[in-house]
Amino acid sequence: MTDRYNPQVIEHLVRPRNVGEIEDNHGVGESGDSACGDVSRFSVRMEGLRLEEVRYKVYGCAACIAAGSALAEMADGKTIIEAAAITSGDIEDALGGPLSKGKEHALTLVLDSLHKAFEDHWNRDFEALLADGGYLGNGESGKKTVVAAMSGGVDSAVTGLLLREAGYDVVAVTFRLHDGEPGSRSCCSPDTVLFARDTAHRMGLPHFTLNLKELFGTRVMSDFVGSYEAGKTPNPCVSCNAHVKFHAAAFLADRIGYNKVATGHYARVGEGPSLARPEDETKDQTYVLWPMPKELLARTIFPLGDYRKTEVRAIAEGRSLAVATTPESQDICFIPDGNYRKFVGKRIEAKAGEIVDREGNVLAEHSGIANFTVGQRRGIGVSAPTPLYVTDVRPTTNQVVVGRKKELEVFEIGVKDLNWFLDPEESASVQIRYNGEPVECDVSEGDYEDEWVVRFHEPVIGVAPGQSAVFYTDDGERVVGGGVVSRRG
């Protein structure tokens, strides 16, 4: 049976508010598609942060038309931050109560198109983010305000919650980083944006989405593929933290006059400022945070640094956050199935080449160097009495070098692209893998330009160019700095 609509829905249908499209607008967003029945488009005109005018158009059922009308009326005249906090429930209240079953999509549809208009608005100022210094706000004004990155997962949700409970005005932001696999819940894909918005709104937080697909594509994904092509082992999370995530959060904070930025990383901000290891050593993410610019770190909060993961889940459950039971996010967000070989293989032309030993004897053929990483043992395709490991990948000759485990041992590496938080001389140990054990070392400036030399106190196996080398203080608690391994031995 079809339920009767509330009189408020019919009233909005017959006399829709704010119909139209603003020609001279500051943001336009559209959601839905005509093939599936409903389309909504919002346009906004702004004066500073105030929405001076909000207009909408809808093709669809009565619920969509009425929801759009109610939302446009509510958002009109509010600040963009206030409008970004309007929830589906708020629209339902304006329409006299819950819509009948099967009509709830109207709320998501119109809300999403308004949010896409906001996204478009920020996107128009995007050159500022791409340029250096897009994050120049100093985070030092009076109010406790913070932009918190929100993926929709349990960590970021609890981050928002803890900040709010600590007295901050919190604005949640989700980054649209890649198109993802259709229907998948991999982080930062389209469905995740809706989920993250819903999570933020349930906590009463305003929510924005920033479209960083271009930035992420050039700075992270292409770099990821290019590194494999160059025989290196890249870490995309490091690139994202170096160039994308914090810059974007700070970009938004600057635009809305907010001071701080926050993420759900497990790390702490120590003196200096410097990065410090978190309470939960099993979730330590300092290794992937080393390239954060110091100016950004100075205005960053990592609320989860003082908590263990089990406590974070307990907080989420205690506050009845739906995200409490969401699975852990993947290693690489844009490769949800974890098969990065397939991902890389689709994007570069594989060229067959030789597999050789240390002396240069040809042992076999390989189908492309991108399939090989230093330290790899499986899938080499050469039988030998003792296990063989990849000891080197040489892009110039398109060769893969294999050898015994002993040949993987390295005593010295070169490191470039350094980012220091503290005096380099404080470096006492180095970590060269996520979740790896730090190894005692000496660090000194090398003979080559921009290169530093790291000498291990004991041999280390499986160091590959492209990986991050992160230096820790004597007590192992603070990050001195980090860089990218440029050579081994």
Partner 1 sequence: MNSPVYLDNAATTPLDERVFDAMLPYLRGARGNPSSLHGAGADAREAIEAARGHVAAMVGASPEEIILTSGGTEADNLALFGLARSAPPDKCHAVVSKVEHAAVREAAKRLEADGFEITWLGVDEYGMVDAREFSASLRDDTAFAAVMWANNEVGTIQPTMELAGICAERSIPFHSDAVQAAGRVGMDVGESLVSTLALSAHKVYGPTGAGALYVREGVEVSPILFGGGQENGLRSGTENVAAIVGFGEAARLAREEMAERAAHEGELRDLIIAGATEVPGVRLNGHPERRLSNNVHLTVDGVEAESLVLMLDALGYAVGKGSACSSSGHKASPVLEAMGQSEAEAFSALRVSTGKENTLEEVEGFLGAFAGCIERLRELSPIQAS
The set of catalytic residues is 240, 333
Nearest to partner 1 of 28, 393 (CB atom): 28
59 or 448, CB closer to partner 1? 59
Establish if 53 lies at the interface with partner 1 (CB under 8 A). no
Interface with partner 1, residue 40, by CB under 8 A: yes
Stretch that binds partner 1, among 34-42, 345-353, 397-405, 421-429 (CB under 8 A): 34-42
Q: How far is CA 171 from the centre of its chain?
A: 16
Contact flag: residue 383 with partner 1 (CB under 8 A): no
The answer for 464, left when phi > 0, alpha when psi is -120 to 50, beta otherwise, is: beta
Q: Provide the minimum distance between the beta carbon of 65 and partner 1 in the complex, in angstroms, as a whole number.
A: 6
Pick the binder of partner 1 from 37, 77, 318, 459 (CB under 8 A).
37
H helix runs in 270-417, sequence order = 286-289, 294-297, 309-318, 340-347
Angle at 330 between CA 327 and CA 334, to 5 degrees: 130
Among 34, 361, 383, 396, binds partner 1 (CB under 8 A): 34
Q: How far apart are CA 456 and CA 101, in angstroms?
A: 64
Give min distance, CB of 30 to partner 1, in A.
Answer: 7
Q: Does 115 bind partner 1 (CB under 8 A)?
A: no
When the beta carbons of 43 and 399 are compared against partner 1, the nearer one is: 43
Query: Quick one: 39 or 54, whose CB is closer to partner 1?
Result: 39
The answer to the question of residue 291 lying near partner 1 (CB under 8 A) is no
- Shortest distance (Å) from residue 92 CB to partner 1: 18
Q: Which member of 23, 24, 35, 359 binds partner 1 (CB under 8 A)?
A: 35
Which CB, 5 or 122, lies closer to partner 1? 5
Residue 177 near residue 334 (C-beta atoms within 8 A): yes
- Cα 462 from Cα 410, distance rounded (Å): 8
The verdict on 14 binding partner 1 (CB under 8 A) reads yes
Which structure tokens are listed for 252?
A: 């938004």
- Per CB under 8 A, the list member of 17, 45, 50, 62 interacting with partner 1 is 62
Q: Is the dihedral of CA 185, 186, 192, 198 positive or negative?
A: positive
Select 4 or 346, whichever has its Cβ closest to partner 1: 4
Angstrom distances, CA of residue 348 to CA of 66, 180, 232: 49, 19, 14
**How far apart are the C-alpha atoms of 377 and 151, rounded to whole Å?**
35
Q: Does 131 bind partner 1 (CB under 8 A)?
A: no
The nearest distance, CB 36 to partner 1, in angstroms, is 9
Q: Does 29 engage in binding with partner 1 (CB under 8 A)?
A: no
Q: What are residue 416's DSSP bridge partners?
A: 484
User: To the nearest whole angstrom, how small is the minimum distance from the Cβ of residue 68 to partner 1?
Assistant: 9
What is the crossing angle of helices 190-202 and 105-123, to 10°? 100
Residue 371: partners with Cβ closer than 8 Å, 6 or more residues away? 341, 345, 350, 379
Token pair belonging to 436: 């790896």
Per-residue burial over 228-239, b if 16 or more Cβ lie within 10 Å, else e, is: bbebbbbbbbbb
4 or 378: CB nearest partner 1: 4
Nearer to partner 1, 21 or 281 (CB): 21
Rounded to 10 degrees, the C-alpha dihedral 327/332/338/339 comes to 170
- What is the closest distance, in whole angstroms, from the C-beta atom of residue 98 to partner 1 in the complex? 17
Task: Give the binding range for partner 1 (CB under 8 A) out of 32-40, 248-256, 275-283, 408-416.
Answer: 32-40
Residues 6+ apart with CB under 8 A from 283: 266, 308, 309
Which amino acid would we find at residue 141? Answer: S
Which one of residues 8, 10, 78, 184 is an interface residue with partner 1 (CB under 8 A)? 10
Pairing mode, if any, of strands 468-472 and 439-445? unpaired
| Interface with partner 1, residue 108, by CB under 8 A | no
The nearest distance, CB 29 to partner 1, in angstroms, is: 11
Q: Using the rule CB under 8 A, is 5 a contact of partner 1?
A: yes
Strand partners for 301:
262
Residues numbered 64 to 103 that lie near partner 1 (CB under 8 A) are 65, 102
Tell me which residue has tokens 């635009």: 255
8 Å CB contact between 175 and 150: no
Coil, helix or strand at residue 414: strand
Does 22 help bind partner 1 (rule: CB under 8 A)? no
**Least distance to partner 1, CB of residue 28, Å:** 10
How many residues contact partner 1, by CB under 8 A? 25
d(CA 277, CA 441): 19
Given 8, 45, 50, 61, the residue binding partner 1 (CB under 8 A):
61
Q: Measured from the CB atom, is 28 or 441 closer to partner 1?
A: 28
Binding site for partner 1 (CB under 8 A): 1-2, 5, 10, 13-14, 16, 19, 21, 30, 34-35, 37-41, 57-62, 65, 102
